[in-house]
Amino acid sequence: MKVKVISRSADEFTRERSQDLQRVYHNYDPNLRPQEKAVEYVRALNAAKLEKIFARPFIGAMDGHIDAVSCMAKNPNYLKGLFSGSMDGDIRLWDIASRRTVCRYPGHQGAVRGLTVSTDGQVLVSCGVDSTVRLWNVPAATLTNSDDSSDNSVEPLATYVWKNAFWAVDHQWDGDLFATAGGQVDIWNPNRSQPVNSFQWGTDTVISVKFNPGEPNVLATSASDRSIVLYDLRMSSPARKVIMRTRTNAISWNPMEPMNFTAANEDCNCYSYDARKLEEAKCVHMGHESAVMDIDYSPTGREFVTGSYDRTIRIFQYNGGRSREIYHTKRMQRVFCVKFTCDASYVISGSDDTNLRLWKAKASEQLGVLHPRERRKHEYHEAVKNRYKHLPEVKRIVRHRHLPRPIYKAAALRRTMIDAEKRKAERRKAHSAPGSIVTVPVRKRRIIKEVE
Amino acid sequence: MAGKMRKAADFTPAMAQKKRKAADLTKDRSKSNKKPNKLNKTLGGGGGSDDKRKRKTGPRLPAPLRKVLGGTKRSTDSLNDSDENISSDEANDFYEYEEPLPQEESGKNRRFDIVKNFLLDPSDPVEEDENVSSEDDDDKDDYDGVSKIEKSHGWRGSSEQHGDEVEDDERHLRMLQTVSGMPSEAFEGKKKKKKNLVISEAYPESEFNPSRDVLNGNGQISIEELIEPLQGKPGYSEIRKLIHEDKNSTSIQAPLPRVEREMLERKAVYEQSKKDITKWEPLVKMNREAPSLFFDEDTNLGFSTVGAIASGFEPRTEFEKKMAILVNDDKVKEAHNEDGSKLLELNKISAEEYLEDRNHIARMRSLLFRHEMKSKRIKKIKSKTYHRLLKKDRLKSASAEMLMDPEAAKEEARKQEFKRAEERMTLKHKNSSKWAKRILQRGLDAQDEGTRAAINEQLHQHALLTRKMNTMKDSSSSSGSDDSDEDDVDENSAGSDPDAASKLFAKAKEKTLKVLQEDDEVPTSGVLSLPFMVRGLKKRKEEAVEEAKLALQEYESSLKDLEDTGGEENAKVGITSGRMVFGAPKRDVPKPKPSNKMKTDNYYRNSDSEDDLDENIDVGNEMRNDLQKDVNVDSGFLNEDADVHRDSVFKSFDDVVRDPGPKTSYDVAIFASGTWKKMKKGKRVDANIKKSTVVGKPVLQNQEELAEESDTDSEGQMVDGILSAGSKPLYELPSQEELVRLAFAGDNVEDDFEKVKQEILNEEIPEPEKPNLLPGWGQWTSVQRKKGLPSWMLEEHEIAKRKREEALEKRKDAHLKHVIISEKLDKKAEKLHTKTLPYPFTSKEVFEQSIRVPVGPEFNPSTSVGAMNQPDVVKKSGIIIKPIKFEEVNAHEKTEEHKGQKRSGNNQKTNKRKGAGGKRTGVRPLVVKS
């Protein structure tokens, strides 16, 4: 008689520690497991539910300013450093990890409207409505700067007084220039008291300016004449202007796709443009119920965060028409500025209620060190959820967000209005001669013209 | 325009420089050389051919020289980067565009006529005006224009004029073009017509034939006129050319208006930056198409080891500084370096010492262990009495300790004093609490015993705590005496002699008597004088008296017992102590009756019910003794019931054999009835009732049953037999048809199928409900009856019916008579389907394919699961992600990368590295590409 015996060596199957997993051999023959799809579907459903359960995005508020937070800047060289400027002229450096003020920069007479930090993280540039540009030294980031030194105040390195009030400032990536926006666009060298270059195209106030991090010599501005203007510093000239129906409050370039930028518009939407084709937006990101005040791309370039006047923060995919996430708290007022941290895992918002708020970029992410098994589990959940996200149940759970009542109502109202407009347009078209009315796609609808 | 050109020339080198600074890419170098060229090209597009003509102006080399240089220079210049050369390079470039222009040559022949005629026409001032205003030429040019008019057939002047004209035309043309969007050819005809309009002069203009202007005095003699006579001489053509060119050089056009100029500039800049940005396209495309992006490479966390961190440590606080001073002290260091080993040596211990130490530790450990075990055991004991005693013991020992130790006593006193003070301050126990107030309000009489006791207790507490110090002392002393008394008692009890016991009883009797006599005084003042208190006290006293009396009687009886029965006493005492014991004596030898009676007597005094119970049990005891055997047998029988009943039968028979009586009949009855449940019941209830009357019946029944069974069987057989036997002789062969009909006589298949189909249809598309009215709803009943159903209801019903019919018509099996195709929607399955094809997928098959293979770890080997579940963006928190950096990508490499990834799905780590290399890692690009 032949006896079949499973032979396994004790060496292979002995665990070194009690925490080690038992070694298991597995037959992966699909015929043995006919229910795999059903199993995975249920897992996807559970993953979606778990994600909802563990969604706790709010980490904490940073309290300290005594007036609305108007602008923020992140230190590109130091993860924990964050600067914020408020309407009363106060500038603070925060330690995000401990959520405390590390140091303050007194000096501005009016509201601080723009903050930016040089790429090496050494110099902070601030500007405000008191028509001054101030340069500050950033204290070196040490391992131990979280001890209580909250009244560290610093004298500015330099103060440049100029002709007009400033609205925004941005520093070149890996360069030494920075640009301010106000009556015109000024390009400054930090060592000179006068701008090295000034651009004026049109007479209206320029309200925001952003350098392209991929192409350091290209910058975009938006002005109160509803225009977005591109500049090229290599030829020291503006390049192209596009005029929209409403004002653009802020611009952010995609750090991973140097040709693309997204504009936060007053009409509740964000418009992603390709700088080479400005006659139509590449994508319209809808969702906010009031003017979008600020926008910032994640360093991964795959998503961006927007802060709005409707007291919410939304996170969009770079190519998504609707927001992936919406954050709000009872106490958060109008959001004036938002930033993604340099490691793409947190979002910071500054709002009218004088607080900065720290959020997780992924609401249900588990913080802290993950065991490899945990990480794998999370990845699997994500993958399975992603796979079945089109099925109605999973979709419903994943998409569902609880909103404050005013926003929910405003959204419903907006929807009805848009629907009504659409219906009207359709009827008009149906009742007029064929071809006489052309439907303009949404991506073009809000653009008036492109000016050379 | 020249000025502008110079500007352009200035700005290009600067630009080139900047550019070089900004982007150190070799690729750009060639671009920057081409840039001016490009710029001018675009400018030319805006300015038209006049620009081209103008480009001839400006300081330059003589033509022959230039021609010679032309061939060589351009080639060298393209490689030369120096700033000066770029300007000259530019000039060359311009020429390149000049030379092939055929317009000048071709237009030459016609120019004579056109210009001449045109100029001679004084009635057309518009042209002149246009010329001046639009061109903004300088004086010289103007003058030329005038001199041309003086000339009769001076083709040079005319050519110049024609140039202007052409310019104008072209501008006009361009304007038209931009306005209408039509090609320039469309407007060509117009121009020609205009030219034809020009009228020629009667005789040629010359020095002998001055024109009108000259005669008027404002004419001047031009160089052309002067060299006119040289025509036909050998070097004439060269001279003419030179002069011609010279003159051309002077005709500089005014710069464009600022707005226009800036627009052109912006256009150029935009084109340029567009082109620059486009270089990112392949990189971005690759990134977008990559299955996942990696940002977790190159993690420079600053410190790698603990040692590195420690070396970077700097003392900040005072404590740290002190420590640092001590640690870094030279002496200490020296000592450590020199004597480190010595110090260790000094630490040596002898073997004995070590042993002693070890033993000590072991002892302590065992002690600890024992103590632990003991406390565990004690904790496990459930007896309340034991714990009470234990507690008392502990308290006693504590008080003793207090007595011994003045410190502890003081502490205790202080505590006590504090408590007292607190009580005096708060009067917590003096009926001031909400609870007490409420109770008092309701009246103490209305309360139950417990509440009253609680109130009393509280008051007692209060009294105790508010008593003065000296009284406290008294009480303590009295309690002390009590304690001693108790001790005495204990001692007495400890001695188990009968004498001692009797003594003890006597003492107790004495004491109780004392109590009975004493309790006559009634307090006249204080809390205790309150009526309810008095009442309470009285009641208590009565109780106490009763108790005392009982105790007395007990003592007496026990004393008597002591005297009567010496030996049995101990056991008896044990019996009286508690109820729990009474089972044991019964199990033992049956007791003599007198003792039993005495026991009952004793019990009578305590409580009736208990005694009754005992009595009953005692009474029953006898019966039980009788029944005991029986019960035992029964239980055994019951156990075996579950087995085969034959066993039980045997057993029962055994029983029968053993003791014939009521039991036997009962067992048999059980077996005979055949249901075991019944048996149990019977056992309980009928034990006494059933007698031998039952014996015969069931057995009989059983027999009958058996008989019946056999009967039915045999009957069936018989019937069969009869049937077969009866039909055989009558049989005739039926026809085939009949056979078939007979075979399927019962089942009407087609009708059944139709019925089934109809049912299914009705289920899937239900028939609309018939409209019915609720009498009195919506209208008076009489009206309803008269009018019948309202029209809208009928209409609705009609519509519903029609819809149903339509739906039936639409069904796939509508015209298939023998088929049912179910179109029922499974709601549970619906959850697993999407309504529309999801966005990125182009077809249903692709979508289904995408979710076909499972990704879980149960269904895939662990080597491939990681790759399957990889998220879109792999990043680590805490690592700064820098913006994208440019690197060359070629398509070939990319595909290779992809392949590599697919294949090396097993090895995740290498895969990651590879992928990162191929894909655009936005992180600091450590990847070095050769």
- Enumerate the residues of chain A whose CB falls inside 8 A of the CB of residue B836: none
Q: Which of the two residues, B888 and B157, has the higher pLDDT score?
A: B888
Lowest mean pLDDT among A48-52, A293-297, B180-184, B432-436: B180-184
Give the model's pLDDT for residue B154: 41
Q: Tokens for A8, please give them.
A: 């396994």
DSSP state of B495: S
Run of H or E including A262: strand A260-265
Lowest mean pLDDT among A69-78, B97-106, B758-767: B97-106
Considering Cα of A175, then A177, then A182, then A185, what sign does the dihedral take? Answer: negative
Give the model's pLDDT for residue A15: 86
Averaged over B445-460, what is the pLDDT?
85
Coil, strand or helix at A271: strand
Looking at residue A113, its amino acid is R
Task: Kindly state the percentage of chain B with pLDDT values over 90.
Answer: 11
CB A108, CB A156: distance < 8 Å = no
Question: Going by C-beta distance under 8 Å and a sequence separation of 6 or more, which residues neighbour residue A86?
Answer: A65, A66, A67, A68, A69, A70, A92, A111, A112, A354
Distance between CA B276 and CA B663 in Å, rounded?
A: 115
Coil, strand or helix at B693: helix
Lowest mean pLDDT among A215-219, A392-396, B89-93, B825-829: B89-93
**Is the Cβ pair A237, B265 closer than 8 Å?**
yes
Check whether A16 has a pLDDT greater than 60: yes
How confident is the model over B595-630, as pLDDT tens digits?
A: 444 444 444 444 444 444 444 444 444 444 444 444
DSSP state of B305: S
Question: The complex's ipTM?
Answer: 0.92
Give the model's pLDDT for residue B906: 36
Q: Which of A319-333, B15-29, B405-419 has the highest mean pLDDT?
A: A319-333
Interface check for B269 against chain A (CB to CB < 8 A): the answer is: yes
How confident is the model over A45-102, as pLDDT tens digits?
A: 999 999 999 999 999 999 999 999 999 999 999 999 999 999 999 999 999 999 999 9
Check whether B88 has a pLDDT greater than 70: no
Question: Going by C-beta distance under 8 Å and a sequence separation of 6 or more, which residues neighbour residue B767?
Answer: B801, B804
Check whether B571 has a pLDDT greater than 70: no
Lowest mean pLDDT among A32-36, A383-387, A447-451, B590-594: B590-594
Whole-number average pLDDT of chain B = 64
Tell me how far the alpha carbon of residue A149 is from its chain's centroid.
Answer: 30
- Give the sheet arrangement for strand A313-317, strand by strand: A292-297, A303-308, A313-317, A323-327
Q: Which of the two residues, B835 and B533, has the higher pLDDT score?
A: B835
- Note which residues in 372-431 of chain A have CB less than 8 A from chain B: 376, 379-380, 382-384, 387-388, 390-393
Check whether B740 has a pLDDT greater than 50: yes
Check whether B818 has a pLDDT greater than 50: yes
Give the model's pLDDT for residue B331: 78
How confident is the model over B668-706, as pLDDT tens digits?
A: 334 444 444 444 444 444 444 444 444 444 444 444 444
**Is the Cβ pair A215, B856 closer than 8 Å?**
no
Q: Hey, of A37, A198, A215, A236, which one would you mutate to test binding to chain B, going by the most B CBs within 10 A of its CB?
A: A215
CB B872, CB A302: distance < 8 Å = yes
Give the model's pLDDT for residue B611: 42
Considering Cα of B318, then B323, then B324, then B328, what sign does the dihedral take? Answer: positive
Give the model's pLDDT for residue B891: 56
- Give the sheet arrangement for strand A81-86, strand by strand: A69-74, A81-86, A91-95, A100-104
Check whether B445 has a pLDDT greater than 50: yes
From the list B267, B838, B854, the residue facing A40 with the nearest CB is B854
Lowest mean pLDDT among A55-69, A284-298, B335-349, B792-806: B335-349
How confident is the model over A158-198, as pLDDT tens digits?
A: 999 999 999 999 999 999 999 999 999 999 999 999 999 99
- Enumerate the residues of chain A whose CB falls inside 8 A of the CB of residue B272: 232, 234-235
The pLDDT-based confidence of A253 (bands split at 50, 70, 90) is very high
The pLDDT-based confidence of B182 (bands split at 50, 70, 90) is low
Q: Tokens for A178, please give them.
A: 């920075």
Check whether A235 has a pLDDT greater than 80: yes
Q: Tokens for B149, please give them.
A: 């008019």
Averaged over A420-445, what is the pLDDT?
94
The pLDDT-based confidence of B125 (bands split at 50, 70, 90) is very low
| Minimum Cα–Cα distance from A276: chain B residue | B274
Give the model's pLDDT for residue B343: 60
Interface check for B874 against chain A (CB to CB < 8 A): the answer is: no
Query: Rounded to a whole number, what is the distance in Å from the CA of A384 to chain B's nearest CA?
Result: 7
The pLDDT-based confidence of B174 (bands split at 50, 70, 90) is confident
Q: What are phi and psi of B589, to 5 degrees?
A: -65, 135
Q: Which of the two residues, B445 and B158, has the higher pLDDT score?
A: B445
Q: Which of the two residues, B251 and A118, has the higher pLDDT score?
A: A118
Q: What are the residues facing A307 on neighbouring strands?
A: A294, A313
Angle at A370 between CA A369 and CA A375, to 5 degrees: 150
B289: how many CB neighbours lie within 10 A of its CB?
A: 10
CA-wise closest residue to B672 among B634, B645, B699:
B699
Q: Which residue is it, tokens 């799905």?
A: B905
How confident is the model over B336-386, as pLDDT tens digits?
A: 777 666 666 666 778 899 999 999 999 999 999 999 999 999 989 999 899
What is the SS3 assignment for B75-112?
A: HHHHHCCCHHHHHHHHHHHHHHHHCCCHHHHHHHHHHH
The pLDDT-based confidence of B122 (bands split at 50, 70, 90) is very low
Give the model's pLDDT for residue B164: 55
Lowest mean pLDDT among A317-321, B21-25, B910-914: B910-914
Q: Which residue is it, tokens 């705590």?
A: B465
From the list A275, A388, A391, the residue facing B277 with the nearest CB is A275
Give the model's pLDDT for residue B765: 87
Lowest mean pLDDT among A123-137, A247-261, B504-518, B560-574: B560-574
Q: Buried b vs exposed e over B650-684: b needs ≥16 C-beta within 10 Å?
A: ebbeebeeeeeeebbbbbbbbbbbeeeeebeebee
The pLDDT-based confidence of B141 (bands split at 50, 70, 90) is very low
Check whether B126 has a pLDDT greater than 70: no
With 0-12 / 13-18 / 19 or more C-beta atoms within 10 angstroms meaning exposed / middle / buried, residue B213 is middle
Averaged over B21-43, what is the pLDDT?
43
Give the model's pLDDT for residue A248: 96
Give the model's pLDDT for residue B502: 67
Considering Cα of B201, then B207, then B209, then B212, what sign does the dihedral take? Answer: positive
Looking at residue B121, its amino acid is D
Q: Hey, of B178, B265, B269, which one would you mutate to test binding to chain A, going by the most A CBs within 10 A of its CB?
A: B269
CB A344, CB A300: distance < 8 Å = yes
CB A315, CB A304: distance < 8 Å = yes
Lowest mean pLDDT among B39-48, B738-747, B777-786: B39-48
Give the model's pLDDT for residue B707: 43
Whole-number average pLDDT of chain A = 92
Give the model's pLDDT for residue A405: 95
Q: Which of the two residues, B211 and B75, has the higher pLDDT score?
A: B211
Query: Rounded to a whole number, what is the distance in Å from the CA of B745 to chain A's nearest CA?
Result: 46
Q: Which of the two residues, A27 and B524, has the higher pLDDT score?
A: A27
Interface check for A124 against chain B (CB to CB < 8 A): the answer is: no
Give the model's pLDDT for residue A198: 94
Give the model's pLDDT for residue B165: 56
Averaged over A298-314, what is the pLDDT?
96
Distance between CA B664 and CA B676 in Å, rounded?
A: 16
From the list B287, B838, B875, the residue facing A343 with the nearest CB is B875
Q: Which of the two residues, B926 and A58, has the higher pLDDT score?
A: A58
B580: how many CB neighbours lie within 10 A of its CB?
A: 7
Give the model's pLDDT for residue B330: 80
Q: What are phi and psi of A357, to 5 degrees?
A: -125, 140
Averaged over B2-24, what is the pLDDT?
44
Give the model's pLDDT for residue B785: 83
Interface check for A301 against chain B (CB to CB < 8 A): the answer is: yes
Averaged over A233-241, what is the pLDDT?
91
Q: Tokens for B71, please give them.
A: 């061939």
**What's the full length of chain A, in residues?**
452
DSSP A75-102: -TT-TTEEEEEETTS-EEEEETTTTEEE
The pLDDT-based confidence of B734 (bands split at 50, 70, 90) is confident
Q: Where are the alpha helices (DSSP H) in B181-280?
A: 188-196, 212-216, 223-227, 236-250, 258-278
- pTM score, whole prediction: 0.51
Coil, strand or helix at A404: coil
The pLDDT-based confidence of B412 (bands split at 50, 70, 90) is confident
Check whether B204 has a pLDDT greater than 80: no
With 0-12 / 13-18 / 19 or more C-beta atoms within 10 angstroms meaning exposed / middle / buried, residue B198 is middle
Task: Kindly state the percentage of chain B with pLDDT values over 70.
Answer: 46
Give the model's pLDDT for residue B252: 75
How confident is the model over A375-406, as pLDDT tens digits?
A: 999 999 999 999 999 999 999 999 999 999 99
Interface check for A324 against chain B (CB to CB < 8 A): the answer is: no
How confident is the model over B892-909, as pLDDT tens digits?
A: 554 444 433 433 333 333
Interface check for B7 against chain A (CB to CB < 8 A): the answer is: no
How confident is the model over B518-564, as pLDDT tens digits?
A: 555 555 556 566 777 778 778 888 888 788 788 778 777 777 766 65
Q: Which of B7-16, B101-110, B408-417, B648-657 has the highest mean pLDDT?
A: B408-417
